[in-house]
Chains A and B, each alone.
Chain A
Amino acid sequence: MTGNAAAAVAALQQALAAEQAAAYGYGVVGAHLMGSAAAASADADWVAHLRAGSELTTMISAWGGQPVAAAVAYELPFPVISAATAQQLAATMEDRVAQAYLVVVALPEAGLRSFGAQQVRAAALRAEAWRGTTEAFPGMRASNPRR
């Protein structure tokens, strides 16, 4: 594997891991939003993460890597006990997904950069929908003062 391929696989694996964690998290989110108007959004976002994960799996194989397997369960960043905390979890997972894809944007291959950037944007849009507020620098760590 060349240096470029190794870097691409490493970044894509991180993105895949973030997608798998998000797909798991949306299961928890959906359970707490059942019957509410937001349930359909949770479903749609869950499907988006499953699709992205499947796309990443294909890409990683194409780059000569072995896609990481999803964990059976993931530790949630905070207890989800209500519809409000469920929505907070959805937004937090989108932040993490955006962070992972921003690493893909730093790769030299134009195609991967473009893919990563589109995914950062998609995650930021989903985070905005859950949170109702925007950020100046989605996907960048420690540079976003929360408002």
Chain B
Amino acid sequence: MTDETPVGDARSGGPTGVSRRGLLVAASAALPALLAGCKGVQALGTPPPPPREIRVLRAAITAEELMVARYSAALTRLPTSNAGLLAAVRAVQAEHAAHLGQLRSRLVEPAGAPAPTAARAPAVAVGSSPGTVLGALEQAEQTASNRLLEQLAVLPPTLAQLFASIAASEATHVPFLQQARAEAG
């Protein structure tokens, strides 16, 4: 209640707009609403966990961010003399960027959701051979593909289709990179 709340109406000289008794009733009626409001604030303090599909989608987004970062790291470790290998790795990275775009477009974040943290790829040792660098990428692809397929049951139909399609794409990156590696010699 503030000073602006009209209590009585002495200055206007007219009949009392709101009787004292009426005010008390109004105040007691407002009390439960006020308590409910407090409860609401408490509930905001500890938000309920997001639905499972949202958590699964967020995890998939993080995994794709990590994958894009892995390829960026790998690109700095591959010999610049091998144009074919670099092109192959860049092509795969572009597909991961496309996956990431599609996954992000499916996530409607509620207001006040925590900002996502930037994905950090595991460091690739300086002096790693192209075989080691690509071998690690191939392993990451297979793991990521399998992980997506494990999540299908909890997803709405169209999101399950997106996961299945991305899982298939990631699986194909394994033989694609192996072939690029073989051709690089």
Contact = CB atoms under 8 A, between A and B. Distances in A.
Contact of A137 (B153, B157, B166, B179): B166
B102 to A, nearest CB: 7
Contacts of B99: 136
A127 B91 CA distance: 17
B167 interface: yes
Contacts of B62: none
Interface residues of A, number: 30
B161 A102 contact: yes
A116 B164 contact: yes
Interface residues of B, number: 29
Given A134-B176, A138-B165, A138-B172, 8 more contacts: A98-B168, A102-B165, A113-B160, A114-B153, A117-B149, A120-B165, A128-B176, A135-B172
Contacts of A106: 157-158, 160-161
Contacts of B169: 124, 134-138
A140 B172 contact: no
Contacts of A128: 172, 175-176
A56 B168 CA distance: 20
Contacts, number: 94
Contacts of A136: 94-95, 98-99, 166, 169
B92 A134 contact: yes
Interface of A: 98, 102, 105-108, 110, 113-114, 116-118, 120-121, 123-125, 127-129, 132-140, 147
A118 B150 CA distance: 11
Contact of B164 (A102, A135, A147): A102
A147 B95 CA distance: 11
A146 to B, nearest CB: 12
A15 to B, nearest CB: 13
Contacts of A107: 157
A137 B160 contact: no
Contacts of B158: 106
Contact of A117 (B164, B175, B176, B179): B164
Nearest to B164: A117
B152 interface: yes
Contacts of A129: 175
